Amino acid sequence: MTNKKIVILGTGGTIAGTASNAADHLGYTAAQVGIAQLVAGLPLTGNACELMSEQVAQIDSKDMDFAVWQVLAQRVSHWLAQPDVQGIVITHGTDTLEETAWFLQAVLNPERPVVLTCAMRPATALAPDGPQNMLDAVAVAAHAGARGVVAVCAGVIHGARDVQKVHTYRLDAFSSGDAGPLGYVEEGRLRLVRNWPQAPVDKAQAAIKNIAAAAGSLPWPRVEIVMNYAGAGAAVVRALVADGVQGLVVAGTGNGTLHHALEVALLEAQADGVRVVRATRCLEGRVLPKPGDAIPDSQGLSPVKARVALMLAMRGQG
Ligand code: ASP
């Protein structure tokens, strides 16, 4: 009987970072070590699955963009189409991990597990967190019944919809907010407290067809994020509209509230055909809509994920 395979796709990040001083967790360069080397360093004897690796990108995830996402989605689709592939692990920088996770969940909604993992310390650190995170991610990818796009960091399993980086330095840098994590990885075993992620934004499903067909040639709609704050005005929105923006996500205060000057500009933009969505800059909770709201809410998505959803919805319609 052939072993099931787990494919580990490398995209860079601190998990592949190097520093000249092992005690330096800040002055390192991300995305230096190849995925084959990271996998080779794992103590995986006795693992029931065969591990394969592929370098899809080698970037600091602060520089992530739709072109890389497109290639990544295509490689994940390619590997998931092989019947002997049990699951995928993706090594990724922490900075935009939640956006990549949501993008992949929205366009692929995979029946098998796609597990993003990361590190807060470079590979050359005295006590790097990357190897344990990778081992935990492999345990999740190998778990019977696991499905959907999830993130694993510091022994915690988060769903793509809820995961958010909430800390700049701590090893346990992610939270699922109100929803809570999906579960935990303890000594290679999973303790689940919620169900695996199910189908997300319906409209986004159409986008994968375009993604597969377009291979980078079709431009993505331009969607930007603006924020409400004390003294927020109309200037940024008006400048963006003049510059040809097609969609705007506003990170409102509290329950999506907006300074009246910003609101006026957003309503003008909407009247000019710009798609506008209202999220909240609060880390927890969601915008609760009221009857008659002129600007639709983000359905519980954070501003950065609402932007991805809006771009996919606009692309899916286009
Ligand atoms: N800037 C790095 C990245 O996102 C941070 C990290 O991986 O922790 O690639």
Name the amino acid, one letter, at 77: S
Among 11, 15, 28, 61, name the best residue to mutate to test ligand 1's pocket (greatest count of ligand atoms within 8 A of Cβ): 61
Predicted confidence at residue 198, as pLDDT, reads 74
Stretches where the chain sits below pLDDT 70 are 1-2, 45-47, 199-217, 317-318
* Rounded Cα distance, 31 and 13, in Å: 5
Q: Can 14 be counted among the known catalytic residues?
A: yes
Name the amino acid, one letter, at 294: A
Is the minimum distance from the CB of 93 to ligand 1 under 6 angstroms? yes
CA of 205 to the centre of ligand 1 (A): 28
Cα-based angle 274, 275, 277 (whole degrees, multiple of 5): 135
Looking at the chain, the whole-number percentage of residues with pLDDT higher than 90 is 88
Is the minimum distance from the CB of 62 to ligand 1 under 6 angstroms? yes
Predicted confidence at residue 219, as pLDDT, reads 82
- What is the 3-class SS of 258-275, one letter each residue? CCHHHHHHHHHHHHCCCE
Is the minimum distance from the CB of 100 to ligand 1 under 6 angstroms? no
Predicted confidence at residue 318, as pLDDT, reads 44
Residues in contact with 226: Cβ distance below 8 Å, sequence separation at least 6, in sequence order: 236, 237, 240, 248, 249, 250, 251, 262, 266
CA of 103 to the centre of ligand 1 (A): 18
Predicted confidence at residue 214, as pLDDT, reads 53
Predicted confidence at residue 203, as pLDDT, reads 45
Is the minimum distance from the CB of 152 to ligand 1 under 6 angstroms? no
Instruction: Select which of 11, 14, 91, 117 is catalytic.
Output: 14
Predicted confidence at residue 211, as pLDDT, reads 60
Ligand 1 atom with the smallest distance to the CA of 95 is: 4
Is the minimum distance from the CB of 76 to ligand 1 under 6 angstroms? no
